[in-house]
Structure 1
Amino acid sequence: MEEKISNFLTEIIDKDLAQGRVKEIHTRFPPEPNGYLHIGSAKAIWINWSIAKQYGGKFNLRYDDTNPSHEDVEYVDSILEDLRWLGAEPTGGIYYGSDYFDQCYEYAEQLIREGKAYVDDLTREQMQEYRGQDAGKPSRPSPWRDRTPEENLDLFRRMRAGEFADGTKTLRAKIDLASPNMNMRDPAIYRIMRAHHHRQGDKWCIYPLYDFAHPIQDAIEGITHSMCSLEFENHRPLYEWVIDNLHLGPFPIQREFARLNITHTVMSKRYLRKLVETGVVDGWDDPRLPTLCALRRRGYTPESIFEFVKKAGVAKANSLVDNRLLEHCIRSELDPVAPRRVAVLDPVKLVITNYPEDKTEEFQLPNNPKDENAGTRAVPFTREVWIERSDFAEVPPPKYQRLKPDGEVRLMGAYIVKCTGFEKDEAGNVTKILCTADLETGNGMPADGRKVRGTIHWVSTAHAVDAEVRLYGDLFGEENMGELPEGKTYDDYLNPESVQVLPNAKLEPALKDARPGERFQFVRMGYFTPDSKHPGVYNRIVTLKDSFSKTLTQK
């Protein structure tokens, strides 16, 4: 049985249902197709989709394609792909804001005829000047505010016919120039824009603005609760004005929740597009980005993303969520189920001098020690194996429990070996480590029962699969990217070490046929997945260490 969602939004819905104001809940997700969805979008999707599901209602996907100058079919396709990957199927249907352009136009004419809208000749800059910046001081009226309905209707129809240049005329709602809410001071509701639309072609040269089109679209689709992020709170009076003056109510109603702000993360689509276009990142799906396609490529699951959104909470006040919570969610999901595999990321050769050169034997390693049904797999062992460079120290630090001169370690699941020597190149780098093995037993326990503390992993050199491994970190060095010092930009905080490339990794043979979408724990190293763009490349999803779980326990 699924856990019931309970927050201030569901309290509003419960009240509306109890009072008989609505009978069926109908929600929507209205993305603008001007970029790829990010994890902030996942919060809006989860809220609208999960609430509709909980109440046995409907959930719509509606593209807000009212600004063709920034929109593209690529983004349209990616949005639906991401939505379905998350499992948030639009049960109420898939729609486009452009489907309602005719109705929006008719409603605009209705407002004009009723004296509630007028055609203005002020430019955008002049409009801002007339409006002013002081919410306590009324705006100056436009010289064209008192045009007659007949004049406005004629001009508006001529705007549609293409008689006027872009930006020379605007249709504005006639509301209240003294309103303390600047959004209510005769907001623009239509503008002239000659831009080819991905669905409407060149049919229109005027387009409705979002604040006017959105409530109309919601009403036509039968949306009951239009739930959006907090930046639209000051736009709610205009949303309600459109609903009331076009007699579309009493529903839909708009309610707002705090958007998702995450440490070390920027979710401005404009800036993300800049990073893509300037080549700072490897496309919209670069695993360092917060886009859903990037998280998918990195190895995150839909379940971990929705779990993160749930744990972050739904509230009315903005807050900053630690990105380690997201890592905790995917780590908690993968730990009990991810197959264990051996990978040496920074290899150095270890030679067991007392082991036959032509011998190969197999040791059984557990696929997942936390799942007794996962079984074991055979891993080949030979005289020469790769180990991690960091697992050997010529001059070991205090309490070092891995391999060192004259020291012993267990080769995981195989023999105990003792270092008898090593070789270096001209630069002083260790190139080969020489060992002898206790060949009395192959289960990692010495025949005489002595204790050996260190255990290291290994891969047979004769059977290793070559791979490149990429270790990802935070793209931005500053924790709160929403509050930068004056004069600073996002660019100032880009982390030049946000990805570490290890080109010479050696993997056990069981990983030879691994495919993108499969997730593994590389023992002692973290969780990894094959990259979907570059064959032979593995991306680290998350490290093994979970410092955030301690934070959760302490709360």
Structure 2
Amino acid sequence: MNEERSLNFIEEIIEADLKSNKHGGRVLTRFPPEPNGYLHIGHAKSICLNFGLADKYGGKTNLRFDDTNPLSEDVEYVDSIKYDINWLGFEWEEELYTSDYFEKLYEFAVILINKGLAYVDESDPDEIAKAKGTPTEPGIPTPARSRSVEENLRIFREMREGKYKDGEWVLRAKIDLASPNMHMRDPLLYRIKHAHHHRTGDEWCIYPMYDFAHGQSDSIEEITHSVCTLEFVPHRPLYDWLIENIGIYESRQYEFARLNMTYTVMSKRRLLQLVNDKLVEGWDDPRMPTISGLRRRGYTPASIRDFCDRIGVAKRENKIDFSLLEFCVREDLNKTAWRRMAVLDPLKLIITNYPEGQEEVLIGENNPEVEGGEGQREIPFSRELWIERDDFLEDAPRKFFRLSPGKQVRLKHAYIIQCDDFKKDENGNITEIYCSYVPESKSGEDTSGLKVKGTIHWVSVPHAKTAEVRLYDRLFQVEDPAAEPDFKSTLNPDSLTIIDAFIEPDLLNADTKRGYQFIRKGYFTLDKLSSDEKLVFNRTVGLRDNWAKK
């Protein structure tokens, strides 16, 4: 984390606790994902915060999977979450699961029943909801609220033994049906679910609710600072009440503003809809805000950590512009990406005074942003080249510094050329450009004395390789798709454009662990779909923010 900025409010709390020796000088945080989907950029903020706090204060972080709903959980999600955290550059102290504590949580529930602070209820969900009242009207007790401790213990034991069907009984806390906080009006603690669990198999058929599992798991692990997002502020009184009345280690919950970002959705439920409805290729579709999608698109761990550091930790909700995330990856890739040439919309250029059949090898640095250039690569050059179609205009305005009749430009890493003529087809489309080159103007050896304002990239026709290039844009057309009646109706139809491009031959050596700047076109990464027969490159981000104008 950036040491030069001022402390955020959670860091202030931790420093005060360390000063007072509140937790014996310990800092132990936890990241508690539900294994019911892939992590997204909002989870990255929580990961960077929890692990970053522990790193800063010499503490540790547990990874604890909140696996209390077997119907939506899968080992695939567990594996993907662990991979994402490691990829971001963090290591956890212990890998734990709420299911590790199922027996202990059951015992905690029995303690509450024995104290007369929990009871079993056979009311159906609608009856329970109605009996809770409204924010302006107190609730009324269901008949179950007066059930004896002995009967509550018996039925709760029978629930565990599998004697009842799903939904027949629930366990509720007995707190305050007139509380202004609806979460305190006898909340559910356990429900029956006859479902196979990915870790405990069929051992359990009752599962704790999130509010009962969360704080108690924190307490069992003796978490010193339980950090979660603002939507859990109303849950904090219940968090504290359960810990106090069970009589266990007093963990404390602290809430920060979750990440809300423009042009995307931050709900696993909505992201799952996109996957299930096949509106995207999967959880790792490069248009998705998932960590796996961003990784496949070419985002780097450093850029995501930088983004999370820049947006900071606040107590109030706000919305972050997607452009900031793009800025962070541009900043990182500009320093690390190797430069290569690729032509995405090809137009043939013929150098008429370059000898037919002659070829030469030119040299280009890999990264001009780094001293020494991180090495060099060889670039074949010949009489016929591919250039970008929009690098030539027949009738060019005065400030057009690329090719037009009679104008000169430099070919990147090569020579200065002048456009002498061009050819059109019967429809008026330009098909070939005819140029002459200045032999004395070779890059690095230029003795021509000529000065030109424009430089364009190119690929030698006989040496060019082909690749599929995927141009990704924002997945949604509106800033806040979640606010629309049907968020899926706002999908951007131009979020993916697939083209075939010509690339310089050195890109045959590309790998997925490195970013590449296609000179003047943007930053790209090799996609997992690539094979020996066909290379596929994903555009990570353009060289500039094209959405700023929009």
Shared fold per TM-score greater than 0.5:
yes
Paired residue total: 543
**Hey, what's the Cα distance between the residues in 1 that align with 2:422 and 2:540?**
34
Runs ≥4 residues deviating over 4 A: 444-448, 546-550
**Hey, what's the Cα distance between the residues in 1 that align with 2:111 and 2:247?**
11
Structure 1 match to 2:525: 529
SS of the aligned residue for 1:70 comes to coil
**Hey, what's the Cα distance between the residues in 2 that align with 1:446 and 1:164?**
87
Shift of the alpha carbon at 1:193?
Answer: 0.8
Does the CA-based 8 Å contact 2:68-2:209 persist in structure 1? Answer: yes
Structure 2 match to 1:414: 414
**Hey, what's the Cα distance between the residues in 2 that align with 1:332 and 1:98?**
42
Deviations for 1:339-384, whole angstroms, at most 9, x for unmatched residues? Answer: 2111111111111122112101122223222323114333111011
**Hey, what's the Cα distance between the residues in 2 that align with 1:396 and 1:148?**
90
Does the CA-based 8 Å contact 1:412-1:444 persist in structure 2? Answer: no
Does the CA-based 8 Å contact 2:408-2:418 persist in structure 1? Answer: yes
Q: Which runs of 5+ in 1 are unaligned?
A: 551-555
Q: Tell me the amino acid that sits aligned with residue 315 of structure 2.
A: K
Q: Tell me the amino acid that sits aligned with residue 371 of structure 1.
A: V
For the pair 1:30 / 2:32, whether they are aligned, the reply is: yes
**Hey, what's the Cα distance between the residues in 2 that align with 1:88 and 1:440?**
53
**Hey, what's the Cα distance between the residues in 1 that align with 2:263 and 2:445?**
45
Structure 1 match to 2:506: 510
Does the CA-based 8 Å contact 1:325-1:548 persist in structure 2? Answer: no
**Hey, what's the Cα distance between the residues in 2 that align with 1:548 and 1:272?**
23
Structure 2 match to 1:120: 121
CA RMSD after TM alignment: 2.0
SS of the aligned residue for 2:306 comes to helix
SS of the aligned residue for 1:68 comes to coil
Structure 1 match to 2:315: 316
Deviations for 1:180-201, whole angstroms, at most 9, x for unmatched residues? Answer: 0000000000001111100111
Deviations for 1:112-169, whole angstroms, at most 9, x for unmatched residues? Answer: 1111000111111211111133x23211111211100011111111111222111121
**Hey, what's the Cα distance between the residues in 2 that align with 1:109 and 1:80?**
34
Distance 1:53 1:450, change over 3 A: closer
Deviations for 1:436-486, whole angstroms, at most 9, x for unmatched residues? Answer: 2223432399866343322211111111121111121111111133433xx
**Hey, what's the Cα distance between the residues in 2 that align with 1:84 and 1:230?**
26
Deviations for 1:227-272, whole angstroms, at most 9, x for unmatched residues? Answer: 00111110000100110011113x2100100000111110111111
Does the CA-based 8 Å contact 2:440-2:448 persist in structure 1? Answer: no
Shift of the alpha carbon at 1:546?
Answer: 5.3
SS of the aligned residue for 1:332 comes to helix
Does the CA-based 8 Å contact 1:410-1:444 persist in structure 2? Answer: no
Shift of the alpha carbon at 1:26?
Answer: 0.7
Q: Indicate the percent of aligned positions where both proteins have the same amino acid.
A: 54
Structure 1 match to 2:466: 466
For the pair 1:476 / 2:470, whether they are aligned, the reply is: no
For the pair 1:493 / 2:495, whether they are aligned, the reply is: no
Structure 1 match to 2:443: 443
Structure 2 match to 1:252: 251
Shift of the alpha carbon at 1:2?
Answer: 6.7
Does the CA-based 8 Å contact 1:407-1:419 persist in structure 2? Answer: yes
Which deviates more from structure 2 when the two are superposed, residues 336-345 or residues 422-431? 422-431
Structure 2 match to 1:540: 539
For the pair 1:431 / 2:431, whether they are aligned, the reply is: yes
**Hey, what's the Cα distance between the residues in 1 that align with 2:469 and 2:444?**
28
Q: Which runs of 5+ in 2 are unaligned?
A: none
**Hey, what's the Cα distance between the residues in 2 that align with 1:417 and 1:25?**
65
Structure 1 match to 2:133: 132
Structure 1 match to 2:55: 53
Distance 1:324 1:541, change over 3 A: same
The 5 A counterparts of 1:190-205 are 190-205=190-205
Does the CA-based 8 Å contact 2:296-2:527 persist in structure 1? Answer: yes
Distance 1:7 1:298, change over 3 A: same
Shift of the alpha carbon at 1:423?
Answer: 2.9
**Hey, what's the Cα distance between the residues in 2 that align with 1:532 and 1:435?**
39
Q: Tell me the amino acid that sits aligned with residue 491 of structure 2.
A: L
Does the CA-based 8 Å contact 1:304-1:333 persist in structure 2? Answer: yes
SS of the aligned residue for 1:90 comes to coil
Q: Tell me the amino acid that sits aligned with residue 296 of structure 1.
A: R
Shift of the alpha carbon at 1:398?
Answer: 4.9
**Hey, what's the Cα distance between the residues in 1 that align with 2:305 and 2:440?**
51
**Hey, what's the Cα distance between the residues in 2 that align with 1:510 and 1:317?**
49
Does the CA-based 8 Å contact 2:44-2:308 persist in structure 1? Answer: yes
Structure 2 match to 1:553: none
The 5 A counterparts of 1:4-403 are 6-23=7-24, 24-91=26-93, 93-133=94-134, 135-249=135-249, 251-374=250-373, 375-403=375-403
Deviations for 1:500-539, whole angstroms, at most 9, x for unmatched residues? Answer: 2122x11112211111121111111111111123340111
Distance 1:534 1:377, change over 3 A: closer
SS of the aligned residue for 2:145 comes to coil
**Hey, what's the Cα distance between the residues in 2 that align with 1:476 and 1:38?**
16
SS of the aligned residue for 2:463 comes to coil
Shift of the alpha carbon at 1:218?
Answer: 0.8
**Hey, what's the Cα distance between the residues in 2 that align with 1:88 and 1:454?**
45
SS of the aligned residue for 1:233 comes to helix
Distance 1:207 1:427, change over 3 A: farther
**Hey, what's the Cα distance between the residues in 1 that align with 2:196 and 2:126?**
25
Q: Tell me the amino acid that sits aligned with residue 302 of structure 2.
A: E
TM-score by length of 1: 0.94
SS of the aligned residue for 1:449 comes to coil
Does the CA-based 8 Å contact 1:230-1:259 persist in structure 2? Answer: yes
Shift of the alpha carbon at 1:425?
Answer: 3.8
SS of the aligned residue for 1:50 comes to helix
Which deviates more from structure 2 when the two are superposed, residues 118-127 or residues 16-25? 16-25
Q: Tell me the amino acid that sits aligned with residue 388 of structure 1.
A: E
